[in-house]
Amino acid sequence: MSFFDLEGTLKPLTALKQFGKKPHTLKDIPWKKREAADRYRGLHYNNLDECIGCGNCSSICQNAAIDMIHIDGIEGKKGDSGLRPRVDNGRCCWCALCVEVCPTGSLSLTKDYLYVTDDPDTFLWTPGLSNPDGAERRSFVSDKDHSLNDFRRVPMPELEGKERVKSFAEVVLGYNEQQAREEAQRCISCGICTEVCPDHMHIPEYINAIAKGNDADAVRIIYDNNPLPEMCGKVCTRRCEDVCAIATRGEPVAIRWLKRYATETAQTVDMIQDIVNPEIREPNGKTVGIIGAGPSGLTAAYYLALRGYDVTIYEANAKAGGATMYGIPKYRLPVESLQKQVDYIRSIGVKIHFNTKVGKDISFKEIYDKYDVVFMGVGFPDAWPLGIEGDDAKGSMQAFRYLYMINSGEKVDVGDKVVVVGGGNVAIDAARVARRFGADVTILYRRRVEDMPADWEEIEGAEEEGVHIIPQGIPIKIHKDEKGRVKAIEYLKAEMVADEKGGRPRPVPIEGSNTILEATAVMAAIGQMGDYSFLGKEFEEKIKIERGRFVVNEKQQTTDPKVFAGGDAVNRTADAISAIADGFRAVKAIDEMLMGKK
């Protein structure tokens, strides 16, 4: 190449031959502004209402450009950490990985790539707050089908509906190792679930341990604040899954099934001991008496025993477990599984006196005087009757009692046409149990199916097994035959009326819509209640009871400072995990009180 390149100087001039011709591409320029490409990756936009602050964008960012920050006006609540992402545009390379991993789809990139400011230090950009009008300019959005999140759950192997009703064999078969690892890898470890868990279990940590192939660590993490995890792994009400970040657009991570998988790797008491290998402190000379070997009582007993307390439980029934033993059908929670966990708790030094009903076999005062502290996990031993005409008929019973009798091994004759009234888990359980004894079962519920408080998987399971559900039906009368047995149940159809106060829609009976349904047995599953007669006169005054429940402070302490309480007889949520949480909280308070520890 010479210094003066003649060719290079003249060649460009050939472009002049295009002068005056109509351009092929850039039409309407400069009158019309050019749009960026359809999937252009410009400045971030975040829908602040859809965002739940899981922080997945922040943790994926390979440039460490995204911070999670508090924004005025957005407060954390259940299912929302309250934090929102802020991008350092000096570091961002617009790879859009943050958008690809966003579980809610709230984060996106826009077509905007120009931002003019007179402050050269303005690089921090809070998507959604810095550009509230960015919603219309979104271009690179998260697409559920191509997201890096896996929105589909690994299906749980189950027995077929027709096979199930033949026996009480466990319906859910459990994940195998490969399935569990695969499912565990769907978790994004945000931890939003832990806040709604009454017991605040360390969910992301144990799921991560499973994902990394370390089941033993997972079991240890689980046992940190739950001594009955296999039971929870099978029957927990799992509110954690309702707020799972993945559930915003897909199926939640199967937190319950993963817990079940991890705990089932420890198949015997010895194996649990080997894996958990808890540190048991030297006896400290203090004693604790516990009434009721249900989830709250067992939890309190286990962690108190680990802290060196001498713990004794008084249990009215022949087996421990409380409502999880006598209320939950065996196809959901096999007796061996529960027994194993109870045996493990006993193996670390918890003493249980079975068949000892407080108030009858031993007085409450005796226990109160004998121990330094008393914990009551007495539950709700009674159920509400229907309270309608004909309720006294033979064959009219409470579903809770029915389950209790079946689980105690008694035979109950319910005939071949059973009607269960209610929409909670007890109703579904009783229905599915009766179905296993060959009866045609109908569930009568006041509201719509979607209003049922029961677990949706249980409702589906019941339907698969041939249980018939009549929604929006309000029972008004039980018809008897000459012998005083149940012959039929009469109900009114209801229509749903929106509640003016903003509550859930109320069922209002339709006049004259009386329908009669033949039945050989009617089971009421409309709630349980406590029986506190065991306290005796003296303590009924000392220990305050309000609306059927013990009054406790945030440390589970009743109005008598020496007495703590937990479980159904205290909390409104009335499930096992809340009972466990109560027990765990009480342990900390009791330890603080007796050992003077903070």
Partner 1 sequence: MKEIKQQMIDRILKAFPDAKNTDYDGNRLDIAIKKESVPALLMHAKEEMGFRHLSHIAYIDWIEQGEFEIVYILWSPSDKLKLFIRTRIDRENPVMDNIDMIWRQANTYQREMREMLGIEFPGMVAPDEFILEDWDDIPPFRKDFNTLEYVNRTFWHRPGREDAQDVRETITKRSGEEIPDFAKKYSR
User: Under the rule (CB under 8 A), what is the footprint of partner 1?
Assistant: 53-55, 58-59, 61-64, 67-70, 76, 81-83, 86, 88, 90-91, 121, 123-124, 188-192, 194-195, 200, 202, 204-206, 208-209, 212, 217, 220-221, 224
For partner 1, give the closer residue by CB, 55 or 381.
55
CB of 100 to partner 1, least distance (A): 15
- Give the position of tokens 């196809």: 331
Cβ at position 94, least distance to partner 1 in Å: 15
Closest by Cα among 10, 570, 578 to 291: 570
Nearest approach, Cβ of residue 88 and partner 1 (Å): 6
Which pair of structure tokens corresponds to residue 147? 């997201």
Per-residue tokens: 577: 């995990």
Q: Alpha-carbon distance 261 to 156, whole Å?
A: 11
Closest by CA position to 486, among listed 396, 385, 387, 386: 396
Q: Which is nearer to partner 1, 263 or 442 (CB)?
A: 263
Least distance from partner 1 to the Cβ atom of residue 207, Å: 8
Q: Shortest Cβ distance from residue 270 to partner 1 (Å)?
A: 22
Q: Which two tokens stand for residue 135?
A: 């919603």
- Rounded to the nearest whole angstrom, what is the least distance from the CB of residue 89 to partner 1 in the complex? 10
List the structure tokens of 68: 């999670």
Q: What is the closest distance, in whole angstroms, from the C-beta atom of residue 40 to partner 1 in the complex?
A: 22
Strand partners, 251: none
Task: Give, as one character, the DSSP assignment of residue 17.
Answer: G
> What are residue 416's phi and psi, to 5 degrees?
-115, 0
CB nearer to partner 1: pick between 195 and 457: 195
Cβ closer to partner 1: 204 or 530?
A: 204
Nearer to partner 1, 82 or 561 (CB): 82
**Shortest Å distance, C-beta 189 to partner 1:** 4
Q: Which residue has the tokens 């408080």?
A: 453
**Smaller CB distance to partner 1: residue 202 or 332?**
202
Considering beta carbons, is residue 90 or 438 the nearer one to partner 1?
90
Q: How far is the CB of 67 from partner 1 (least distance, A)?
A: 3
Q: Residue 410: what residue type?
A: E
Cα 34 to Cα 462: distance, rounded to the nearest angstrom? 59
Q: How far apart are CA 503 and CA 255, in angstroms?
A: 30
Alpha helices by DSSP H, listed for 465-542, are: 536-542
Closest CB to partner 1 among residues 189, 265: 189
Bridge partner residues of 474 (DSSP): 492
> Distance of CA 395 to CAs 390, 522, 544, 596, Å?
11, 6, 36, 55
Select 197 or 266, whichever has its Cβ closest to partner 1: 197
Q: Indicate the angle between helix axes 269-276 and 335-347, nearest 10 degrees.
A: 50
What is the residue type of 379?
Answer: G
Cα atoms found within 13 Å of the Cα of residue 529, Cβ hemisphere only: 12
Distance CA 167, CA 486 (A): 27
Q: Minimum distance between the CB of residue 359 and partner 1, rounded to whole angstroms?
A: 35
With respect to partner 1, which residue has the nearer C-beta, 195 or 389?
195
* Shortest spacing between CB 431 and partner 1, in angstroms: 35
The distance from CA 190 to its chain's CA centroid, rounded to whole angstroms, is: 16
Shortest reach from residue 472's CB to partner 1, in Å:
38
- Closest to partner 1 by CB, 515 vs 553, is 553
Residue 391 near residue 424 (C-beta atoms within 8 A): no
Instruction: Count other Cβ atoms within 10 Å, centred on residue 485.
Output: 15
* Residue 130 or 324 having the CB closest to partner 1: 130
Dihedral (Cα; 47, 52, 54, 58), 10-degree rounding: 20
Q: Which residue matches tokens 């108190």?
A: 304
CA distance 410 to 437: 13
